């Protein structure tokens, strides 16, 4: 699976936001700032995709960017990127979308299983028995403690 264009743009915007706040890393806080802007743009304004792109481009163009610097990711954000492919598979989608990154952030904590399942049901994602079983293993604290969780980032 590969990242969708929207996801790649979102990650690039995370870098621009990090640079705007004089951070030399990209963290989950940068992701949430950008993700909320994308969601607000889509939900509140109800405009066409081309108008959304223009709106986001106009905001981004005002942010000064120095492309000569490398921006490392925080551990949490890197882990979300590693596991987002698994969450795309769970939702039966071929491209990784921004909401898969959000799901990977929820999925990083074994105690967030109810939030994760609530997100799936609220967005009409249907799980078959195999995927439900895999999610049970994914959120199992014992499976995480013995390192079984690493299988998910390699397989999907």
For residue 12, being part of any structural domain is answered with: yes
Residue 35 and residue 81 in one domain: no
Place of tokens 């199992």: 140
Residues spanned by the domain of 44: 2-61
Q: How many domains does the chain have?
A: 2
0.95 surpassed by pTM: no
Report yes or no: 4 and 53 within 8 Å, Cβ to Cβ.
no
Per-residue pLDDT tens, the chain, 156 aa: give them. 678 888 888 888 888 888 888 888 888 888 888 887 777 655 443 444 555 455 555 555 554 555 556 667 778 888 888 888 888 888 888 888 888 888 888 787 778 788 888 888 887 888 888 888 888 888 888 877 777 666 665 555
Residue 14 and residue 82 in one domain: no
Cα(18)–Cα(32) distance, rounded to whole angstroms? 12
Residue 6 and residue 31 in one domain: yes
Residue 82 and residue 47 in one domain: no
For residue 44, being part of any structural domain is answered with: yes
Residue 82 and residue 144 in one domain: yes
């Amino acid at each position: 699976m590969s990242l969708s264009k929207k996801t790649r743009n979102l990650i690039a915007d995370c870098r621009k936001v990090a640079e705007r706040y004089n951070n030399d890393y990209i963290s989950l806080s940068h992701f949430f700032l950008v993700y909320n802007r994308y969601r607000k743009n889509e939900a509140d304004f109800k405009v066409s995709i081309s108008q959304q792109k223009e709106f986001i481009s106009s905001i981004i163009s005002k942010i000064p960017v120095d492309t000569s610097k490398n921006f490392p990711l925080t551990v949490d954000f890197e882990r979300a990127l590693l596991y987002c492919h698994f969450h795309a598979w769970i939702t039966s989608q071929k491209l990784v979308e921004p909401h898969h990154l959000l799901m990977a952030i929820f999925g990083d904590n074994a105690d967030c299983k109810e939030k994760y399942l609530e997100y799936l049901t609220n967005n009409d994602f249907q799980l078959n028995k195999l995927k439900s079983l895999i999610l049970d293993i994914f959120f199992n604290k014992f499976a995480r403690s013995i390192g079984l969780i690493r299988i998910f980032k390699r397989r999907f």
